[in-house]
Protein backbone atom coordinates (compact mmCIF):
# COMPACT_ATOMS: atom_id res chain seq x y z
CA UNK A 1 0.00 0.00 0.00
CA UNK A 2 1.30 3.44 -0.92
CA UNK A 3 1.59 5.97 1.92
CA UNK A 4 -0.72 8.89 1.42
CA UNK A 5 -0.40 12.52 2.24
CA UNK A 6 -2.99 15.22 2.06
CA UNK A 7 -3.94 18.61 3.39
CA UNK A 8 -7.33 19.31 4.92
CA UNK A 9 -8.96 22.69 5.00
CA UNK A 10 -10.89 23.73 8.07
CA UNK A 11 -14.41 24.41 6.93
CA UNK A 12 -15.30 27.41 9.02
CA UNK A 13 -16.22 30.34 6.87
CA UNK A 14 -15.40 33.00 9.42
CA UNK A 15 -11.81 31.86 9.82
CA UNK A 16 -9.17 34.21 8.56
CA UNK A 17 -5.41 33.75 8.29
CA UNK A 18 -3.09 35.42 10.73
CA UNK A 19 -1.98 38.05 8.26
CA UNK A 20 -5.49 39.44 7.94
CA UNK A 21 -6.03 39.61 11.67
CA UNK A 22 -2.84 41.57 12.17
CA UNK A 23 -4.41 44.42 10.21
CA UNK A 24 -6.71 44.82 13.16
CA UNK A 25 -10.38 44.90 12.23
CA UNK A 26 -11.32 41.55 10.77
CA UNK A 27 -12.95 38.73 12.65
CA UNK A 28 -11.61 35.24 13.19
CA UNK A 29 -13.27 32.26 14.79
CA UNK A 30 -12.02 29.36 16.83
CA UNK A 31 -13.62 26.16 15.53
CA UNK A 32 -13.83 24.64 19.03
CA UNK A 33 -15.62 27.36 20.96
CA UNK A 34 -17.01 28.95 17.75
CA UNK A 35 -16.51 32.34 19.27
CA UNK A 36 -15.82 35.02 16.73
CA UNK A 37 -13.24 37.45 17.95
CA UNK A 38 -12.61 40.96 16.75
CA UNK A 39 -8.92 41.64 16.62
CA UNK A 40 -9.29 45.09 18.11
CA UNK A 41 -10.97 43.63 21.21
CA UNK A 42 -7.56 42.93 22.58
CA UNK A 43 -5.02 45.07 24.25
CA UNK A 44 -2.04 44.15 22.13
CA UNK A 45 0.41 45.14 24.82
CA UNK A 46 -1.11 42.76 27.32
CA UNK A 47 -1.68 40.00 24.79
CA UNK A 48 1.25 39.69 22.41
CA UNK A 49 0.07 38.41 19.05
CA UNK A 50 1.99 35.14 19.34
CA UNK A 51 0.24 34.35 22.62
CA UNK A 52 -3.21 35.17 21.28
CA UNK A 53 -2.84 33.15 18.16
CA UNK A 54 -1.28 30.10 19.64
CA UNK A 55 -4.02 29.45 22.21
CA UNK A 56 -7.59 30.63 21.71
CA UNK A 57 -8.07 33.48 24.19
CA UNK A 58 -11.65 32.35 24.84
CA UNK A 59 -11.43 28.57 25.29
CA UNK A 60 -7.63 28.32 25.54
CA UNK A 61 -7.51 25.47 23.01
CA UNK A 62 -4.17 24.80 21.34
CA UNK A 63 -3.69 24.57 17.54
CA UNK A 64 -3.40 20.79 17.64
CA UNK A 65 -6.77 20.45 19.39
CA UNK A 66 -8.46 22.63 16.79
CA UNK A 67 -7.01 20.54 13.95
CA UNK A 68 -7.83 17.32 15.81
CA UNK A 69 -11.50 18.29 15.84
CA UNK A 70 -11.46 18.50 12.03
CA UNK A 71 -9.39 15.39 11.35
CA UNK A 72 -11.35 13.34 13.84
CA UNK A 73 -14.62 14.21 12.10
CA UNK A 74 -13.27 13.76 8.57
CA UNK A 75 -11.06 10.70 9.04
CA UNK A 76 -11.68 8.76 12.23
CA UNK A 77 -15.47 8.83 12.62
CA UNK A 78 -16.25 7.76 9.01
CA UNK A 79 -13.85 4.81 9.37
CA UNK A 80 -15.31 3.33 12.56
CA UNK A 81 -16.83 -0.08 11.92
CA UNK A 82 -18.42 -1.15 15.20
CA UNK A 83 -21.79 -0.06 16.65
CA UNK A 84 -21.66 3.25 18.51
CA UNK A 85 -22.49 1.69 21.88
CA UNK A 86 -19.54 -0.71 21.59
CA UNK A 87 -16.84 1.80 20.66
CA UNK A 88 -13.89 2.18 22.98
CA UNK A 89 -10.82 4.39 22.82
CA UNK A 90 -7.43 4.49 24.49
CA UNK A 91 -6.13 8.02 25.01
CA UNK A 92 -2.46 8.42 25.89
CA UNK A 93 -1.65 11.50 27.99
CA UNK A 94 -4.82 13.16 26.71
CA UNK A 95 -5.67 16.64 27.91
CA UNK A 96 -9.19 17.71 28.91
CA UNK A 97 -9.67 19.30 25.47
CA UNK A 98 -8.69 16.15 23.60
CA UNK A 99 -10.95 14.05 25.79
CA UNK A 100 -13.89 16.39 25.25
CA UNK A 101 -13.49 16.02 21.47
CA UNK A 102 -13.26 12.21 21.68
CA UNK A 103 -16.17 11.90 24.13
CA UNK A 104 -18.55 13.07 21.42
CA UNK A 105 -17.95 9.71 19.70
CA UNK A 106 -16.61 7.25 22.27
CA UNK A 107 -18.71 6.13 25.24
CA UNK A 108 -15.83 4.15 26.69
CA UNK A 109 -12.55 6.04 26.99
CA UNK A 110 -9.56 4.65 28.86
CA UNK A 111 -7.08 7.32 29.91
CA UNK A 112 -3.49 6.29 30.18
CA UNK A 113 -0.21 8.02 30.85
CA UNK A 114 3.19 6.98 32.07
CA UNK A 115 3.73 10.00 34.33
CA UNK A 116 1.59 12.84 35.55
CA UNK A 117 -2.11 13.16 36.12
CA UNK A 118 -4.51 13.31 33.20
CA UNK A 119 -7.73 12.71 35.10
CA UNK A 120 -9.73 10.18 37.08
CA UNK A 121 -9.34 6.52 36.35
CA UNK A 122 -6.06 6.81 34.52
CA UNK A 123 -3.88 3.76 34.00
CA UNK A 124 -0.12 4.00 33.96
CA UNK A 125 0.81 2.25 30.73
CA UNK A 126 3.84 2.55 28.52
CA UNK A 127 2.95 3.03 24.84
CA UNK A 128 5.88 0.72 23.99
CA UNK A 129 4.15 -2.34 25.45
CA UNK A 130 0.64 -1.36 26.67
CA UNK A 131 0.93 -4.28 29.08
CA UNK A 132 -2.23 -3.54 31.10
CA UNK A 133 -4.43 -4.07 28.03
CA UNK A 134 -5.62 -7.26 26.36
CA UNK A 135 -5.36 -7.89 22.62
CA UNK A 136 -8.06 -6.32 20.43
CA UNK A 137 -9.53 -4.10 23.14
CA UNK A 138 -9.88 -0.72 21.42
CA UNK A 139 -11.42 0.77 18.29
CA UNK A 140 -9.09 3.76 18.47
CA UNK A 141 -5.78 4.74 20.05
CA UNK A 142 -4.88 8.42 20.40
CA UNK A 143 -1.41 9.81 21.13
CA UNK A 144 -0.71 13.51 20.76
CA UNK A 145 2.64 14.80 21.99
CA UNK A 146 3.73 11.32 23.08
CA UNK A 147 5.89 9.91 20.28
CA UNK A 148 7.81 13.18 20.49
CA UNK A 149 9.59 11.55 23.44
CA UNK A 150 9.80 7.88 22.43
CA UNK A 151 12.63 6.62 20.23
CA UNK A 152 11.26 3.08 19.81
CA UNK A 153 8.48 3.75 17.31
CA UNK A 154 8.49 0.10 16.15
CA UNK A 155 7.61 -1.06 19.66
CA UNK A 156 4.81 1.52 19.74
CA UNK A 157 3.37 0.32 16.43
CA UNK A 158 3.56 -3.32 17.56
CA UNK A 159 1.77 -2.68 20.87
CA UNK A 160 -0.88 -0.39 19.36
CA UNK A 161 -1.58 -2.93 16.63
CA UNK A 162 -2.00 -5.61 19.29
CA UNK A 163 -4.57 -3.72 21.40
CA UNK A 164 -6.62 -2.53 18.42
CA UNK A 165 -9.67 -4.44 17.24
CA UNK A 166 -9.81 -5.38 13.52
CA UNK A 167 -10.00 -2.15 11.47
CA UNK A 168 -9.01 -0.19 14.59
CA UNK A 169 -7.37 3.19 14.12
CA UNK A 170 -4.26 4.90 15.45
CA UNK A 171 -4.04 8.70 15.28
CA UNK A 172 -0.95 10.50 16.53
CA UNK A 173 0.49 13.99 16.40
CA UNK A 174 4.14 15.00 16.39
CA UNK A 175 5.19 18.64 16.57
CA UNK A 176 6.26 19.97 13.17
CA UNK A 177 9.68 21.08 14.34
CA UNK A 178 10.46 17.44 15.15
CA UNK A 179 9.67 16.27 11.60
CA UNK A 180 12.06 16.11 8.67
CA UNK A 181 10.68 15.78 5.14
CA UNK A 182 12.90 12.78 4.41
CA UNK A 183 13.01 9.08 5.23
CA UNK A 184 15.64 9.31 7.96
CA UNK A 185 15.16 7.09 11.04
CA UNK A 186 14.29 8.61 14.43
CA UNK A 187 17.19 10.23 16.28
CA UNK A 188 17.63 11.64 19.77
CA UNK A 189 18.20 15.39 19.60
CA UNK A 190 18.12 16.28 23.28
CA UNK A 191 16.37 15.55 26.54
CA UNK A 192 13.24 16.64 28.37
CA UNK A 193 12.50 16.68 32.07
CA UNK A 194 9.28 17.90 33.72
CA UNK A 195 8.79 18.42 37.44
CA UNK A 196 6.08 15.76 37.63
CA UNK A 197 8.36 13.02 36.29
CA UNK A 198 9.62 10.57 38.91
CA UNK A 199 13.06 11.19 40.40
CA UNK A 200 15.81 10.62 37.87
CA UNK A 201 13.57 10.26 34.80
CA UNK A 202 14.72 12.21 31.73
CA UNK A 203 13.01 11.61 28.39
CA UNK A 204 14.76 11.74 25.01
CA UNK A 205 13.63 14.45 22.60
CA UNK A 206 13.14 12.86 19.17
CA UNK A 207 13.41 13.96 15.53
CA UNK A 208 11.62 11.90 12.87
CA UNK A 209 11.63 11.55 9.11
CA UNK A 210 8.03 11.80 7.86
CA UNK A 211 8.50 9.18 5.12
CA UNK A 212 10.20 6.86 7.58
CA UNK A 213 7.16 7.01 9.89
CA UNK A 214 4.78 6.18 7.01
CA UNK A 215 7.00 3.30 5.88
CA UNK A 216 7.14 1.85 9.39
CA UNK A 217 3.36 2.09 9.71
CA UNK A 218 3.03 0.02 6.53
CA UNK A 219 5.57 -2.51 7.83
CA UNK A 220 3.43 -2.94 10.93
CA UNK A 221 0.35 -3.56 8.79
CA UNK A 222 -1.32 -0.20 9.20
CA UNK A 223 -2.62 1.87 6.34
CA UNK A 224 -0.59 5.07 6.56
CA UNK A 225 -1.63 8.63 5.91
CA UNK A 226 -0.05 11.91 6.91
CA UNK A 227 -2.52 14.76 7.30
CA UNK A 228 -0.99 18.22 7.34
CA UNK A 229 -3.08 21.24 8.24
CA UNK A 230 -2.57 24.91 8.81
CA UNK A 231 -4.66 25.97 11.78
CA UNK A 232 -6.15 29.22 10.43
CA UNK A 233 -6.61 30.66 13.88
CA UNK A 234 -2.91 30.52 14.73
CA UNK A 235 -1.23 29.91 11.39
CA UNK A 236 0.48 26.95 13.02
CA UNK A 237 1.37 23.95 10.90
CA UNK A 238 0.02 20.72 12.46
CA UNK A 239 0.97 17.23 11.30
CA UNK A 240 -1.05 14.15 12.18
CA UNK A 241 -0.42 10.51 11.27
CA UNK A 242 -3.44 8.28 10.80
CA UNK A 243 -3.40 4.53 10.37
CA UNK A 244 -5.99 1.81 10.22
CA UNK A 245 -5.22 -1.81 11.09
CA UNK A 246 -5.36 -3.84 7.86
Instruction: Kindly list the residues in this chain that would bind Zn ion in the complex (CB under 5 A).
Output: 30, 32-33, 56, 58-59, 61
> Whose Cβ is closer to Zn ion: residue 56's or residue 91's?
56
Least Å distance, CB 233 to Zn ion, is 8
Specify whether the CB–CB gap between 67 and 240 falls below 8 A.
Answer: yes
> Whose Cβ is closer to Zn ion: residue 159's or residue 234's?
234
Least Å distance, CB 60 to Zn ion, is 7
Q: What are the backbone angles phi and psi of residue 201, rounded to the nearest 5°?
A: -85, 125
Mutual angle of helices 210-219 and 153-163, in 10-degree steps:
40
Least Å distance, CB 53 to Zn ion, is 12
> Whose Cβ is closer to Zn ion: residue 64's or residue 220's?
64
Residues 6+ apart with CB under 8 A from 88: 106, 107, 108, 109, 110, 137, 138, 139, 140
Specify whether the CB–CB gap between 231 and 7 falls below 8 A.
Answer: no
- Cα(104)–Cα(7) distance, rounded to whole angstroms? 24
> Whose Cβ is closer to Zn ion: residue 52's or residue 151's?
52
Least Å distance, CB 174 to Zn ion, is 23
- Cα(192)–Cα(11) distance, rounded to whole angstroms? 36
Residues 6+ apart with CB under 8 A from 207: 178, 179, 180, 186, 187, 189
Least Å distance, CB 175 to Zn ion, is 20
Q: What is the number of residues in the chain? A: 246
> Whose Cβ is closer to Zn ion: residue 32's or residue 114's?
32
Looking at 11-164, list the stretches that DSSP marks H as alpha helix, in order from N- to C-terminal side. Answer: 18-22, 49-54, 63-71, 96-103, 153-163
- Cα(148)–Cα(165) distance, rounded to whole angstroms? 25
Least Å distance, CB 167 to Zn ion, is 33
> Whose Cβ is closer to Zn ion: residue 31's or residue 244's?
31
Amino acid sequence: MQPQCESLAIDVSALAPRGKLKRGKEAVACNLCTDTIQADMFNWNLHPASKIFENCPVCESRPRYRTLDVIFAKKVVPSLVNPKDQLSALVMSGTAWEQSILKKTFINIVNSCLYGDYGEGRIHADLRDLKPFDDQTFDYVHASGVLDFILEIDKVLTSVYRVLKPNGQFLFHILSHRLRDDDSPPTVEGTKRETYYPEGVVLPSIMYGKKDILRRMNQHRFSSEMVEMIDPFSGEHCTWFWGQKI
